[in-house]
Structure 1
Amino acid sequence: MGAISGASLQGIPKSYATCSIGCRESDTLPRKLEAIKKAGFTGIELSFPDILGYGGQILGHSIQPKNTTELRKVCSDIQKLCDKNGLKIMMLQPFANFEGWPVGSAEREDAFERATVWIELMKVLGTDLLQVGSTDSPKEKISDDRDTIVTDLRELADLLAQNGFRLAYENWCWSTHAPHWKDVWEIVEAVDRPNIGLCLDTFQSCGSEWADPTTSSGLIEGLSSAELSKKFSDSLHQLAQKVPGDKIYLLQISDAYKVSPPLEDKVVDGLRPRGRWSHDYRPMPYDGGYLPIEDFAKAVLQTGFRGWFSVEIFDQGQDGKGIEYEMDSYAQKAMRSLDKLLQNCATE
């Protein structure tokens, strides 16, 4: 695989997901944006729950997630706040459980209604990118037929294209049908639209192909350490060779704690083990995690990708019970960790 020059990484734009900062009730969206800006980030992934939370704050009542009239007003205020802080709204996220519902079902109707609402909000926010996570709906409820998945996403891509918008499709490591980067890439290729690409994530891919929160080793078991390393290395080589850099829209950055004792291998509160791991055990790089995130980031960069590196961390501490921090210093620490990651990815 090709060399990665340090000079080519100097212009990498850096973003922060608003859902992954703040631990107190006083950590409102305006304060989040201020902390992110002070740390030197130039963009954000705007989280829909943050829109709802800020809307409740300024309107004095909770907002229904399909109340387009009220949501548009709130998003107009958010767009002004971002302008004030010099932050680009790089993406709206996380659009979940969209694909695979039976034709004619209430769930499929709801999915497309939600898409229509979110597209209206994207117009107000000034962002052109929608993140869609590979669904984790149970197999008993959705189809895992690849043609059905592709048809749904193609229809969504075409809806977005009417407004010049793009779709960033992400593999969630606990997804029902697409837990690996290769799964979502094959789907993106089959959708075959110019406005669909990948949202890759260091946690999601390392967490699906290399690690396992339900084992005492923290690794996927059933094969030797050498076999696991080779299998993961081969996957990274395929990523670097097969995926064009311009079909990667962003790389999300986080690590993971090795959970001790391991998580129980069962569904809890509707979440599979890797889903619970994702929600609570994802620190920033170089802060106690153990995933080979540098190796994954290098493979992504070897595609020629030089787009957004975006911090998306969900750190409730190694015990998953929560941590306290001050947002300004926390965001600054995240920036330092991101800079270190980029430095370590340079091979020349």
Structure 2
Amino acid sequence: MSNDFSSLRFGVATASLGMNPIHDISKKFEALQKAGFKYVEVGFGAYMEWVRSELPNLPPSTCPPEWSEADEPDPSDDAIWKALYAKAEDFKKLVAKYGMTCLVLQPLNQFDGWPEGSKRAEWVRRKAEKWLPLCSKLGVEQLQVGSNDYAEANAPDEKTAEDMHWLAELGAKQNPPVKIAYESWCFSKRVSDWEHTWKIVQLGNHPNLGLCIDTAHPPLAPAYGWDPTTGKGWTDKQYASFLEPRRSPR
């Protein structure tokens, strides 16, 4: 049996093309175009940076510093969110100028697993209610959500699955709808391997929720013998046990 990959859409994440400020988003799009790519995954921070370059008088984010990710605004920062929404069409035109389509916005960080009733649990849902309309306005098909790597996000799997179900329902209500892709981060304190992520996706039980396997993370998960905090691990036996079931998946 031969494998047919003709229907797969291959792209590159802007975050994979360097994080130095001299590599602005247009240079990254130009490089992808020259390499023949038609699809791109855009980081929220890259979009935020581009909007600020277009609108330099935007106010700073009021997001609590310890909760901030990539200069994202607080849910209450109406002026910034209004600008992010308003510039979405111009950004889509910029992507199209380089012959590409933006498939994914990433990552909605530190969303899942906060204890029921905590301030952070309430805050991240308000944040998501700003993110999902932005995804829809940008025309992206998927929002990538990495497993929470904060130690305080220690709710049981059932609560995490409830969070992801809620997010998937919110994505489904957008026009056009936005799929939720849940991925494991190897440095997560609680959900660090893809099998655990898949369990939560199944518990979440929503047609708009699916699994994302970020190939940079599964091999470095502690469950397979690696310590991403030290960069050490893996005996030959552990390495072989990691590879074997992936050579002949069922």
Question: Which band: TM-score by shorter chain?
Answer: 0.7 to 0.9
Which amino acid counterpart does residue 161 of structure 1 have in structure 2?
A: A
- Greater RCO between the two (CA within 8 Å, min separation 6)? 1
2:162 corresponding residue in structure 1: 151
2:84 corresponding residue in structure 1: 71
Write out per-residue CA displacement over residues 167-218 of structure 1, whole angstroms, 9 at most, x where no aligned residue. 10000001121111100011111111111111102220011125445678x4
Q: Structure 1: state its 5+ residue gaps.
A: 242-348
Whole-Å Cα distance in 2 between the matches of residues 190 and 69 of structure 1? 35
Alignment CA distance shift 1:237-1:115 (3 Å):
same
Q: Identify which range, 167-176 or 55-64, moves more after superposition.
A: 55-64
2:64 corresponding residue in structure 1: none
Q: Structure 2: state its 5+ residue gaps.
A: 62-72
Is 1:50 matched with 2:46? yes
The answer to whether the 8 A contact 2:149-2:187 is kept is: yes
Write out per-residue CA displacement over residues 272-300 of structure 1, whole angstroms, 9 at most, x where no aligned residue. xxxxxxxxxxxxxxxxxxxxxxxxxxxxx
Using the TM superposition, give the Cα deviation of residue 237 of structure 1 relative to its aligned residue in structure 2, in angstroms. Answer: 6.2
The answer to whether the 8 A contact 2:116-2:159 is kept is: no
Is 1:38 matched with 2:48? no
**3-state SS, counterpart of residue 92 of structure 2:** helix
- Could you tell me the TM-score, scaled by structure 2's length? 0.83
| 1:86-235 superposed matches below 5 A | 86-138=99-151, 141-163=152-174, 164-208=177-221, 209=224, 211-212=226-227, 218-221=232-235, 225-226=236-237, 228-235=238-245
Whole-Å Cα distance in 2 between the matches of residues 33 and 20 of structure 1? 12
The answer to whether the 8 A contact 1:51-1:74 is kept is: no
Is 1:9 matched with 2:11? no
The answer to whether the 8 A contact 1:79-1:124 is kept is: no
**3-state SS, counterpart of residue 99 of structure 1:** coil
- Could you tell me the TM-score, scaled by structure 1's length? 0.61
Whole-Å Cα distance in 1 between the matches of residues 104 and 92 of structure 2? 12
Which amino acid counterpart does residue 151 of structure 1 have in structure 2?
A: E
Which amino acid counterpart does residue 231 of structure 1 have in structure 2?
A: S
**3-state SS, counterpart of residue 95 of structure 1:** coil
Using the TM superposition, give the Cα deviation of residue 109 of structure 1 relative to its aligned residue in structure 2, in angstroms. Answer: 1.7
Whole-Å Cα distance in 2 between the matches of residues 214 and 112 of structure 1? 29
Using the TM superposition, give the Cα deviation of residue 22 of structure 1 relative to its aligned residue in structure 2, in angstroms. Answer: 3.4
RMSD between superposed Cα atoms in Å? 2.2
Whole-Å Cα distance in 1 between the matches of residues 55 and 230 of structure 2? 46
Whole-Å Cα distance in 2 between the matches of residues 235 and 178 of structure 1? 20
Percent same amino acid at aligned positions?
31
The answer to whether the 8 A contact 1:160-1:167 is kept is: yes
The answer to whether the 8 A contact 2:114-2:155 is kept is: no
2:65 corresponding residue in structure 1: none
